[in-house]
Amino acid sequence: MSDLQIVLYPHPALKWKSRDVTRIDAQLRQWVADMFRLMYEAKGIGLAANQVALPYRLFVINPTGDPDQPEHEQVFINPEIIRRNGSAEAEEGCLSLPEVFGPVTRAERIVVETFDLNGQSLQMELEGLAARVVQHESDHLDGILFTDRVSADTLRELQPLLDDFTRRFRQAQQAGTIPDNEQLQQRLKQLETERAG
């Protein structure tokens, strides 16, 4: 059984600028399988590694959100968005901020270069929901949340919800059910070192 779980705002992993994946091995494959499972359990369509407190440039998506349609599953390893075209606004949410939603403007179409789980390099042209999910998840790898991309007015509306998350997180830390930030950051650095080079 895996001990991975989805971390909630404001866990420091969500602000982490993640490191490149340096090798695809059994451990990484296991993490990917766990991430898909957690994503489906949470009714999500994408999940980035730092949302399960793994500081690596990796995310999984399935724009259908349907575990019975695994043909739509895609694993992105060390992805780079190399082209963005057009602009579209749509409501977004995040598994690290349950019940928080807001409109975000993103590129309508993107070209992304990535490695897959076989270490194969590929280039993909995406549009619509898939393009949006990939932009949202790529942001995660740089420590950026969708709430960093909403308008000032929307952020003002969402702020009380974010404050509630912060309050609950601090309470859990004071109660000892979540380690303090220094320990959480130590753990992230340790994970980086374990898989560096």
Whichever of 61 and 94 has its CB closer to Zn ion, that residue is: 94
Whichever of 143 and 184 has its CB closer to Zn ion, that residue is: 143
- Using rule CB under 5 A, residue 45 touches Zn ion: no
Q: How far is the CB of 9 from Zn ion (least distance, A)?
A: 10
Residue 91 among the catalytic residues? no
Question: What is the total count of residues that contact Zn ion (CB under 5 A)?
Answer: 1
Exactly one of 94, 104, 110, 131 binds Zn ion (CB under 5 A); which one? Answer: 94
From 70-78, 88-96, 119-127, 150-158, give the range in contact with Zn ion by CB under 5 A: 88-96
Q: How far is the CB of 139 from Zn ion (least distance, A)?
A: 8
Whichever of 21 and 141 has its CB closer to Zn ion, that residue is: 141
Task: Supply the DSSP string of the chain, one letter for each residue.
Answer: --------TT-GGGG--PBPP----HHHHHHHHHHHHHHHHTT-SEEEGGGGT--BSEEEE-TT--TT-GGG-EEEEEEEEEEEE--EEEEE--TTSTT--EEEEE-SEEEEEEE-TTS-EEEEEEEHHHHHHHHHHHHHHTT--GGGSS-HHHHHHHHHHHHHHHHHHHHHHHHTSS--HHHHHHHHHHHHHHT--
Q: How far is the CB of 96 from Zn ion (least distance, A)?
A: 6
Q: How far is the CB of 170 from Zn ion (least distance, A)?
A: 21
Whichever of 8 and 94 has its CB closer to Zn ion, that residue is: 94
**In sequence order, which residues have a C-beta less than 8 Å from that of residue 194 and are 6 or more positions away?**
none
Side chain identity, residue 180:
D
Whichever of 13 and 188 has its CB closer to Zn ion, that residue is: 13
**In sequence order, which residues have a C-beta less than 8 Å from that of residue 127 and are 6 or more positions away?**
108, 109, 110
Given the residues 89, 125, 127, 137, the one annotated as active site: 137
From 1-9, 26-34, 92-100, 122-130, give the range in contact with Zn ion by CB under 5 A: 92-100
Q: How far is the CB of 30 from Zn ion (least distance, A)?
A: 22
Distance separating alpha carbons of residues 112 and 135, to the nearest angstrom: 9
Q: Which residues are catalytic?
A: 137
> What are the residues binding Zn ion (CB under 5 A)?
94
